[in-house]
Amino acid sequence: MGKRNLLVTGGAGFIGSHVVRLLVNKYLDYCIINLDKLTYAGNLANLRDIEHKPNYRFVRADICDYDKMQEVFATYKIDGVIHLAAESHVDRSIKDPFVFARTNVLGTLTLLQVAKEYWNGDYEGKRFYHISTDEVYGALDFDGTLFQETTKYDPHSPYSASKASSDHFVRAFHDTYGMPTIVTNCSNNYGPYQFPEKLIPLFINNIRHGRPLPVYGKGENVRDWLYVEDHARAIDLIFHRGRIAETYNIGGNNEWKNIDLIRVLIKEVDRQLGRPEGTSERLITYVTDRAGHDLRYAIDSSKLQRELGWKPQLCFEEGIEKTVSWYLENQEWLDDVTSGAYRQYYESMYHNR
């Protein structure tokens, strides 16, 4: 594979930081440009270990800023895009849907349009790869069915509605202008560097500090969990070998009812902290359910497994053990993001907001 100039958006976030790390370490002859607005969810501390590598660049910018995106494409001669930048938390989308429409829909459209203009019909060797979620498919029942690539879109939250809309724009740019696009829809990720508003890092942190664990509804909702590095490996594989205009589902084949997963977390955190088994069970607190809470997500990733030979490498027990130990060992990272200390640092460092 020759030299490439790859734009990764949202690379300072949870999944993006794992993707950037993998690409920077693996493709020494590529230039990896991480473009991120550094919202509350973006944190350059996620990339400390690779930020000085010669094949890595960071640009702080908003994907909705058309002129800036044009400048970035021209400056770095971008020939591939892996687009992860998004507002990503369902609960925030319920409180403020507009920012989700702005970033997820208009931001994606801006990138598509700028890439189209910059590539100007010469799509040889180009790729626009859009990272999406299984939540666009809506909710499944407890009947064993799985989301297929052909499952009809049926988003319920403002978050999933905005991601569904962005997916449609990406496909429309292929169908209308011949843009070389790929879309993947992945299940819930977990692992290091996830912002502690999402279930797993939030609960690990709360268990550590003896704080209540707010379980929505009866805790019966089901999610299909995938270790984030397995997702990053899938993204690398699909970016390089996936078929243009295709959709690939990515999932862990690893369904957990929330309350069962929470009990696993309690057991593992208590074990790693040397507390007697069951100590933190008392923290479980049932709270009012999330509005429009999707009952069950579960992915059929057999197309990806069949076509490209991908499968998750980490089993769930190992993934949870690694994840719990990472958060317990990185209390400073957690304290910084929960206190907002890292944001003050950026605001003093970057004045171009």
333 is a contact residue toward ligand NAD (CB under 6 A):
no
Which residue, among 198, 230, 187, has the nearest Cα to 19 in the 3D structure?
230
**CB neighbours (10 Å) of residue 241?**
11
Strand partners, 32: 6, 56
> Could you say which of 36, 62, 79, 134 is catalytic?
134
**283 versus 316: smaller Cβ distance to ligand NAD:** 316
The phi and psi torsions of 342 (rounded to 5 degrees) equal -65, -30
Q: Which two tokens stand for residue 72?
A: 């970035």
Query: Could you say which of 90, 140, 183, 265 contacts ligand TYD (CB under 6 A)?
Result: 90
Query: Could you say which of 27, 58, 153, 216 contacts ligand TYD (CB under 6 A)?
Result: 216
Asked whether the beta carbons of 324 and 207 are under 8 A apart, the reply is: no
Q: Which stretch binds ligand TYD (CB under 6 A): 71-79, 96-104, 197-205, 326-334?
A: 197-205
Distance CA 182, CA 343 (A): 33
**188 versus 253: smaller Cβ distance to ligand TYD:** 188
Asked whether the beta carbons of 100 and 158 are under 8 A apart, the reply is: yes
Residue 340: exposure state from Cβ atoms within 10 A (0-12, 13-18, ≥19): exposed
Partner interacting with residue 242 (select from ligand NAD, ligand TYD, none; CB below 5-8 Å by kind): none
Task: Spell out where 155-276 has E strands.
Answer: 181-186, 188-190, 213-216, 222-227, 247-250, 255-257
Q: Which two tokens stand for residue 156?
A: 């319920």
Amino acid at 252: G
Query: Could you say which of 21, 127, 174, 223 contacts ligand TYD (CB under 6 A)?
Result: 223
> Could you say which of 30, 159, 190, 342 is catalytic?
159
**Is 134 among the catalytic positions?**
yes
Distance CA 35, CA 350 (A): 14
160 is a contact residue toward ligand NAD (CB under 6 A):
no
Q: Which stretch binds ligand TYD (CB under 6 A): 27-35, 111-119, 212-220, 277-285?
A: 212-220
CB 212, min distance to ligand NAD, A? 23
239 is a contact residue toward ligand NAD (CB under 6 A):
no
Looking at residues 267 to 286 of the shown chain, list those that interact with ligand TYD (rule: CB under 6 A): none
CB 52, min distance to ligand NAD, A? 20
Q: Which residue has the tokens 């021209």?
A: 74
**Is 190 among the catalytic positions?**
no
Contact positions toward ligand TYD, by CB under 6 A? 90, 188, 198-199, 202, 214-216, 221, 223, 258, 290
Binding site for ligand NAD (CB under 6 A): 9-10, 12-16, 36-39, 41-42, 62-64, 84-88, 103, 107, 131, 133, 163, 186, 188-189, 195
